């Protein structure tokens, strides 16, 4: 029987993925800050166990991973999907908000990666999967903190791909488009190609278990467009995004 550790498992993509893996017969170590939501999750499937965690606390990450190692014979996949986003605070340069976003999205993920580094490298097997976003592809309006945190994760994942690859450990990057979650519910604009968390969970499960690609991105209708935008010259990109977002110079 195989085992996976999922952070951000109390809602959204993390929760749906925990249920997907559990329903497929995997043992799931589910982590998030909210005990009540984790307890609801564990009650819904016997293959899921709760390991409450605030990823911004390095020592807590260490102690929780020790508990997980003591519970399961082997950890096959670590899926790190903790994230935060507040669009109302992204319209201006809010340094305190940006620090908070980076602390959760980037350094929270990095804390988790650090505590599993020795385990995976010594075992010379395993898989670390990092959840980023299409918002990390290029700069976008009103995304001063969130987009920057995701771009940092993209770069980090690429670097770790080489570093862990020397030890036969797979590193993958998850780049979701718009998925209906409590976090995206905060958006005040119409989200193109909006998908359900269950759709995301199925795509991720297949990519992690059956695929071998570095990046797992979806839905393709949106990510292919954004991948094309990545390669555009700056002048064309800026002009196009201004038009698409009804950008106004103040």
Q: Is-catalytic flag, 146? A: yes
Out of 72, 137, 146, 205, the active site residue is 146
What is the DSSP pairing of strand 27-31 with strand 48-50? Answer: parallel
Residue 134 has, within 13 A of its CA and on its CB side, a CA count of 21
Question: What is the Cα–Cα distance from 34 to 52, expressed in whole angstroms?
Answer: 7
**Sole residue written with tokens 């350094």:** 107
Task: Identify the bridge partners of residue 3 per DSSP, sorted by sequence position.
Answer: 27
Catalytic residues: 146
């Amino acid at each position: 029987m195989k085992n996976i550790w999922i952070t951000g498992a109390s809602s959204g993509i993390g929760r749906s993925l925990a249920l997907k893996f559990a329903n497929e017969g995997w043992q799931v170590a589910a982590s998030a800050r909210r005990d009540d939501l984790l307890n609801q999750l564990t009650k819904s499937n016997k293959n899921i166990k709760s390991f409450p965690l605030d990823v911004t606390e390095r020592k807590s990450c260490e102690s929780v991973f020790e508990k997980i190692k003591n519970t399961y014979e082997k950890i096959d996949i670590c899926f790190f999907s903790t994230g935060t986003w507040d669009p109302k605070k992204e319209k201006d340069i809010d340094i305190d908000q940006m620090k908070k976003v980076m602390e959760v999205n980037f350094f929270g993920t990095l804390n988790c990666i650090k505590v599993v580094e020795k385990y995976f490298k010594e075992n010379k097997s395993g898989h670390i999967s990092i959840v980023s976003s299409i918002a990390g592809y290029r700069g976008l309006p009103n995304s001063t903190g969130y987009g920057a945190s995701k771009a940092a994760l993209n770069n980090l994942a690429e670097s770790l791909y080489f570093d862990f690859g020397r030890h036969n450990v797979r590193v993958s990057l998850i780049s979701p488009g718009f998925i209906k979650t409590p976090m995206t519910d905060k958006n005040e604009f119409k989200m193109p190609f909006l998908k359900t968390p269950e759709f995301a969970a199925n795509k991720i499960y297949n990519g992690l278990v059956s695929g071998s690609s570095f990046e797992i991105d979806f839905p393709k209708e949106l990510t292919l467009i954004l991948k094309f935008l990545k390669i555009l010259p700056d002048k064309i990109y800026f002009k196009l995004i201004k038009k698409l977002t009804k950008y106004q110079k103040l």
